[in-house]
């Protein structure tokens, strides 16, 4: 195949991969889920995977068992490396299979690898022969125009999508930093308040009226015990721990 044909295959399989991802995840979550990293309805990882499969598997066309085994290994390796480098760049994990059996660091799992193997067989023995026939019937100029329009759109999309996701990762890091700082300050405030005479009075009041409730700023009733536990570090709790020791 020519370069233009490989490029066209890339976009076809990236689009088909996007449809598979959306359908699979939407069924699992019982709602429509957009799984695309880009704004365009394509998943480039499927396009890259398809090109790797076409370049390596077509010479093995008559040995279907090798196509299946190598297809599983190649696609699983691609998924693992993609997960690793995306997490390295964006400090976010885009998928996690830790809850599934036979996974490797949550990046790949046996179930998905077997499904990728089935997709490899479908591509090599089902879709690609038809796609090759259609591309052969297309004028070369038309194929080139379509390829370069899609390629230009994907490059622009990738730039904007990457900027967006980098900004999101920075925001997540900032929120995490602020939260950690707030927790530390809250603990220090609890420590300070717990050593005041007011804290002792609060606890005495709770012992006298165990069902006492407070109306919070958000107009929600909470028990006095919840208030103490949330805002004060109880000396009694520390003493209990010391006594148990």
The per-residue pLDDT for 87 is 85
131 Cβ contact partners less than 8 Å away, ≥ 6 residues apart: 9, 12
Q: Do the Cβ atoms of 128 and 121 come closer than 8 Å?
A: no
Predicted TM-score (pTM) of the model is 0.69
Q: Is the pLDDT of residue 163 over 60?
A: yes
Centroid of chain to Cα 95 = 3
pLDDT digits (tens, 9 = 90+) for 169-221: 777 677 777 877 777 777 766 666 666 665 666 566 556 555 555 555 455 55
Angle between helices 197-208 and 224-231 (to 10 degrees): 150
Residues 116, 158, 152, CA angle at the centre, nearest 5°?
A: 105
Region of poorest pLDDT, from 7-16, 80-89, 124-133 = 80-89
Q: Which has more pLDDT, 116 or 241?
A: 116
Average pLDDT over residues 43-58: 92
Nearest C-alpha neighbor of 165 from the set 105, 79, 88, 77: 88
């Amino acid at each position: 195949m020519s370069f233009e044909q490989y490029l066209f295959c890339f976009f076809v399989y990236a689009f088909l991969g996007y449809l598979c991802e959306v359908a699979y995840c939407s069924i699992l979550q019982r709602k429509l889920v957009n799984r695309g990293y880009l704004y365009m309805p394509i998943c480039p990882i499927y396009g890259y995977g398809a090109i790797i499969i076409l370049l390596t598997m077509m010479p093995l066309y008559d040995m279907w068992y090798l196509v299946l085994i190598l297809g599983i290994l190649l696609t699983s390796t691609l998924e693992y490396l993609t997960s690793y480098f995306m997490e390295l760049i964006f400090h976010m994990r885009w998928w996690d299979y830790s809850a599934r059996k036979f996974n490797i660091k949550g990046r790949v799992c046996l179930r998905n690898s077997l499904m990728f193997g089935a997709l490899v067989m479908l591509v090599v023995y089902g879709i690609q022969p038809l796609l090759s026939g259609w591309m052969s019937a297309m004028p070369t100029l038309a194929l080139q125009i379509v390829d370069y329009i899609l390629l230009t759109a994907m490059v622009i999309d990738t730039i904007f999508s990457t900027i967006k996701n980098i900004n999101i990762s920075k925001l997540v890091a900032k929120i995490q930093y602020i939260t950690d700082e707030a927790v530390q300050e809250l603990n220090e405030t609890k420590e300070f308040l717990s050593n005041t005479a007011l804290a002792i009075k609060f606890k005495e009041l709770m012992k006298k009226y165990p069902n006492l409730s407070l109306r919070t700023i958000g107009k929600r009733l909470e028990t006095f015990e919840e208030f103490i536990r949330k805002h004060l570090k109880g000396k009694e709790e520390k003493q209990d721990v010391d006594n148990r020791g």
